[in-house]
Amino acid sequence: MPLLDPDTLIGHPYKNPIRGYSAEELQAATNNYDQRQVMAYDDDFKLYKGFLQDRPVSVMCFLGHNSKWAEEYCYNNIVFASQMSHKNVLKLIGCCLETEIPTLVFESVESGSLDYRIRRRSRPHFKPLLLAHRLKIAMEIANAVAYLHIGLRRPVVFRDIKLSHVLLDEQNVAKLYDFSASKSIPEGETHIKDAVLMGTAGFVAPEYMMTAYSNEKCDVFSFGMLLLELLTGKAIHSLAHTAQDDRFFLLDYVKNHVENNRLQEIVDPVVVEDRSFPGKEPQLLAFVLLIFECVSESPADRPTMMDVAKKLRRMYLSVI
């Protein structure tokens, strides 16, 4: 079966033409896959900084220890990324078919992953992400997810939105990447049915956990949890531990702080101490209220990603 058969077409098959590279070229580009060049990783791959034909690139090398899933995730990335054309989706440039599992080449993202920028503060030359930066990044990722939902022939549900699946380029422009778990909604259908649940604990919508059916509103829920990490600077599992290890307790914990005028106690200190924008409380409150909209228990009560992107744009414009 060809990679882009009719069942996998969600955009124009030649929207983002990709080229082939040799294994030797990619070894040279990454200095023989030097571990010091790793800027992001997941269970099934590592993403290396590289330099190829006078241009910086990002090289995704899949790990063979879980070859069945790694191969499936790799081809999923090729299928979806090759059909994308959006400034906030990481651009696939090419691939190498000489390796056991194809190695993928993407555009350069020198600043690494968003979770690294938010949480790894002890490293040298750390540059904090202030409120305006975070609102801009949130707006850009919302735009990317909205594009997946309404900008293609068939809606694509990303199904694993989280900070580690957002990369930042040299200008801190956000790039959504890793389509390993993504699926398009079949023609004439409104949901995707799974035999095996996908996603990351803490970010998975409750209705998907109960029924194994997912659609765009599951992405909205995950995005709301991403916004919560962006606001607090803490991982969901860390926050949940504070709030008795339960997602609903966690949301009640945040709501309690809002209702008792203690919101700043749970906001990332980097944001609280940001003196470039002293009157930030209305924006922080609006941000929290948007989080609660996104993570509403009922999918029908959640906004669309386009509505989320518009609200984040208004917030961002109010602080610049």
> Among residues 43, 44, 115, 160, which one is catalytic?
160
Q: What torsion, rounded to 10 degrees, do the Cα atoms 56, 21, 148, 287 define?
A: -30
Is 307 among the residues known to form the active site?
no
Q: Please return the burial class of 3, using the count of CB atoms within 10 Å of its CB with bins 0-12, 13-18 and 19+.
A: exposed
Q: Give the length of the chain.
A: 320
Determine the 3-state secondary structure of 105 from DSSP: strand
Cβ partners under 8 Å of residue 215, min gap 6: 155, 157, 185, 190, 191, 192, 299
Residues 131 and 271: beta-carbon distance below 8 Å: yes
Pair 267, 240: CB distance under 8 Å: no
Read off the tokens for 146. 């909205």
Report d(CA 44, CA 101) in Å as an integer.
Answer: 11
Taking the C-alpha atoms of residue 177 and residue 42, their distance in angstroms, rounded to an integer, is 12
Cβ-Cβ contacts under 8 Å for 310 (sequence gap 6 or more): none
Compute the Cα dihedral for 106, 107, 111, 115 and give only its sign. negative
Residues 6+ apart with CB under 8 A from 220: 294, 299, 302, 303, 304, 305, 308
Nearest to 91 by CA among 82, 99, 100: 82
User: What is the set of active-site residues?
Assistant: 160
